[in-house]
Amino acid sequence: MTSLNEQEWLAKNPDVDSITVAVCDINGVLRGKRIPVDQLKNALSSGVRMPQSACTLDIFGRDIEDSELVLDSGDADGVCVPTARGVITRSWDEKPSGFLQVMLGKEDGTPVGADSRQALATVLKRFKEKGLTPVVAMEMEFYLTSVTNGIPRTPTLPDAHRPLAMDNILSVSELDALSDFFDDIYVACNAHGIAADSAVSEGGAGQYEINLLHTADAMKAADDALLFKTIVKSIARQHGFHATFMAKPFGDTAGNGLHVHFSVVDEDGKNIFDDGTDKGSEALRFAVGGLIKAMQESTLIFAPHQNSYRRMRPGSFAPISAAWGYENRSCAIRIPGGPHAARRIEHRVSGADANPYLMLAVILGAALIGIEDKILPPPQLRGNAYEANAPQLPLDWLTAIVAFSSGTTIARILDPLLVRLYAQAKHQELTHFLGIVSGAEYHAYLETV
């Protein structure tokens, strides 16, 4: 993928009349502004400006109360710094437009500590200083739904007579029925350098997974994951569906995960997790040790929303404890088999609703701390992790917020400002949901108690 300068991009896209300039906020939501296309050159030379607080809005798009980035600082502007991808064309939309993702910096050129993309950049800088490079791949799960009055239902596939009514793991017939939908996704991904690999039908009715191939550019992996979600949602609408990456859109079916596979190579290109055996190297075990040690306090990053905790239940293939094992999908950390040269770690905790930058920053940051501090993991777990006596992850939102706020390893990975504002945002969102009485509660209690 080649990043075009503004003149080349304008020449190749004469029909585009607007460009969206956006920053990724702490929830993985794009926030920004639309500018006329004739302002592109000025925007890139003098810089688009946005409030620094734009990267720390809550899930409802509200400022965090008492945030030092708002009234205490006069809600100061940040300077938007374009990412390496540069300006691209949202060719997957019915009416193509321009898109420019940015990071937020201060007037003096230093990064805004609460910018989630900057958080990953900081971790990757630490790897680079040690002559190490993470190699990352992601598995992206989502549901296709039909939405009526804001409520999702299972979809009716093309040429079908009724909505999907059952789980259908690895169904070829479903993939065939959706071939036009998947073809459009692959075309859009290919146009923007997103290495989309195999697609499968997953464990829920209308649930699918597309793998994004491994890359030695972890920042690009996170950029691709964010852009992939945008592409899938847009193309789904064009095909008469709604795509959702909610962790648990349906209470009685499988949740959406975002599994991360990663290895680490040295300056000679050697995988430091490979020692020529099935067991893997000492560095692999130290990385696992760092991940296990940080997992309880990191859960809020992997499960950031109220809905996230509906996914983390026994027997769900979503981990509930800090355990690891070889070829064990019931564990939070799985060491896959295969060729020794490809020895890697699979991190299985995150839901598809996680911010990919913060998720990768915490996973890679904890693994690096494990390697630096030579943290040995507990014994590997054999058998069913849901029945094992392993340290339990926070299985409710408030417990996760408290663990994150006081986490000693998190404090070594993320900027203190980001830790503080992220926790405040989650408290603010939790307070909102506590004020809502659900229909299910009225049904159970209104005339009964």
- The contacts found for 184-188 with CB under 8 angstroms, 24 or more apart, are 184/92, 184/235, 184/238, 184/239, 185/210, 185/231, 185/232, 185/235, 187/92, 188/91, 188/92, 188/231, 188/235
Per-residue confidence band for 162, with pLDDT thresholds at 50, 70 and 90: confident
Per-residue confidence band for 2, with pLDDT thresholds at 50, 70 and 90: very low
Per-residue confidence band for 235, with pLDDT thresholds at 50, 70 and 90: very high
The reported pLDDT for the residue numbered 105 is: 87
Mean pLDDT confidence for 95-115: 89
Residue showing tokens 């998190």: 410
**45 pLDDT more than 80:** no
Mean pLDDT confidence for 122-127: 98
pLDDT in tens, 398-408: 999 999 999 99
Token representation of residue 316: 């769900």
Give the C-alpha separation, 177 to 179, whole Å: 6
Distances, alpha carbon 15 to alpha carbons 89, 95, 150, 168, 184, in Å: 11, 10, 34, 43, 21
Least confident of 3-12, 239-248, 428-437: 3-12
**1 pLDDT more than 50:** no
Q: Are 221 and 212 in contact (CB under 8 A)?
A: yes
Q: Are 13 and 89 in contact (CB under 8 A)?
A: yes
**357 pLDDT more than 50:** yes
**123 pLDDT more than 60:** yes
Q: Give the dihedral sign, CA 287/293/297/300.
A: positive
**340 pLDDT more than 80:** yes
**425 pLDDT more than 50:** yes
Mean pLDDT confidence for 317-346: 94
**4 pLDDT more than 70:** no
Percent of the chain's residues with pLDDT above 90: 74
Question: Does the global pTM surpass 0.75?
Answer: yes
Give the C-alpha separation, 329 to 333, whole Å: 8
Percent of the chain's residues with pLDDT above 70: 97
- Residue 326, φ and ψ in degrees, nearest 5: -85, 130
**126 pLDDT more than 70:** yes
CA angle 404, 410, 411 (to 5 degrees): 110
Mean pLDDT confidence for 106-124: 92
> Per-residue b/e over 35-72, b at no fewer than 16 CB within 10 Å?
bebeebeebbeebbbbbbbbbbbbbeeebbeebebbee
The reported pLDDT for the residue numbered 107 is: 84
The reported pLDDT for the residue numbered 68 is: 84
136: Cβ contacts below 8 Å, ≥ 6 apart: 214, 215, 218, 221, 260, 261, 262, 360, 364
**β-strands 77-82, 49-51 pairing:** antiparallel
CATH numbers and ranges of domains, the chain: 1-113+416-449 (3.10.20.70), 125-414 (3.30.590.10)
pLDDT in tens, 54-73: 999 999 999 999 888 887 66
Which residue did the predictor score with more confidence, 98 or 3?
98
Q: Are 244 and 146 in contact (CB under 8 A)?
A: no
* Beta strand spans in 300-416 (E): 324-326, 333-335, 345-347
**26 pLDDT more than 50:** yes
**42 pLDDT more than 80:** no
Per-residue confidence band for 46, with pLDDT thresholds at 50, 70 and 90: low
Count of CB atoms within 10 A of residue 447's CB?
7
Mean pLDDT confidence for 294-301: 98
The reported pLDDT for the residue numbered 312 is: 93
Mean pLDDT confidence for 157-163: 84
Mean pLDDT score of the chain: 92
Mean pLDDT confidence for 22-47: 86
**144 pLDDT more than 50:** yes
If DSSP codes are grouped into helix, strand and coil, which group holds residue 23?
strand
Per-residue confidence band for 334, with pLDDT thresholds at 50, 70 and 90: very high
- Residue 428, φ and ψ in degrees, nearest 5: -65, -45
